[in-house]
Structure 1
Amino acid sequence: MSNREEYVQKMKAKLDELNAEVSRLEAKAKGAEADLRVKYDDEIKQLKERREEAKVKLAEFQQAGDSAWQDLKIGLQGAWDILDEAIKSASARFK
């Protein structure tokens, strides 16, 4: 398996982890008081938007030619870092 394929698999695994975390947060939000639920739902919406951005970057990365994938890797990693920080932040607020 090439470095590129390994990286794609790693990012897909991270997206799977993210999906599980979003589902966990959604379940927690459902059990929250009404005023908090609105706040949590807004945060979850933002996380889902960032997740979609990461999916788009991953798709671009997968379709990139051999010469461009290293450059796209930087963009994908940046998108993932932002998403990862948002998840950590939201998880901390949901505790």
Structure 2
Amino acid sequence: MDQQQAYKQKYEAKLEEWQAEIDKLRAQAKGASADSQIDYEKQLDELRQRRDEMQAQVEKLKSSQGEAWTDMKAGAEKAWSEMSSAMEKARSRFK
């Protein structure tokens, strides 16, 4: 497996993991008070948006080659970092 394929698989696996965690947080939010649910929904919307951005980066990575792949990889890594930060923020708020 080449480096490009390894990165693509890594990102796809992490996307699936993040989606499962978003689903878990959504279920947790349903059991919260009405005021808390509003805050949780805002947080979940942000997570879904970041996840969608990450998905778009992964799709671009899949179709890129050569130097374009290197550029797309940098964009995907930035989106990855932003998504990781958003997930940590959400985890801390949902505790």
Structure-2-length-normalised TM-score? 0.97
**Rounded Cα–Cα distance in structure 1 between residues aligned with 2:56 and 2:91:** 24
Instruction: Show the counterpart of 1:86.
Output: 86
Instruction: Show the counterpart of 1:65.
Output: 65
Divergent runs of 4+, >2 A: none
5+ residue gaps, structure 1, are none
Q: Describe the superposition over 1:25-71 as per-residue Cα deviations: whole angstroms up to 9, x where unpaired.
A: 00110000001001101110110011001100111111112221011
Structure-1-length-normalised TM-score? 0.97
**In the alignment, structure 1 residue 76 sits paired with structure 2 residue 93:** no
Paired residues in the alignment total 95
**Rounded Cα–Cα distance in structure 2 between residues aligned with 1:33 and 1:14:** 30
Secondary structure at the aligned position of 2:19 is classed as: helix
Work out the percentage of aligned pairs sharing the same amino acid: 37
Instruction: Show the counterpart of 1:24.
Output: 24
**Rounded Cα–Cα distance in structure 2 between residues aligned with 1:67 and 1:77:** 15
Question: How far off is 1:72 after superposition?
Answer: 0.9
Q: What value does the CA root-mean-square deviation take over the aligned residues?
A: 0.7
**Rounded Cα–Cα distance in structure 2 between residues aligned with 1:57 and 1:17:** 16
What letter corresponds to residue 75 of structure 2 in structure 1? G
Secondary structure at the aligned position of 1:67 is classed as: helix
**Rounded Cα–Cα distance in structure 2 between residues aligned with 1:13 and 1:53:** 15
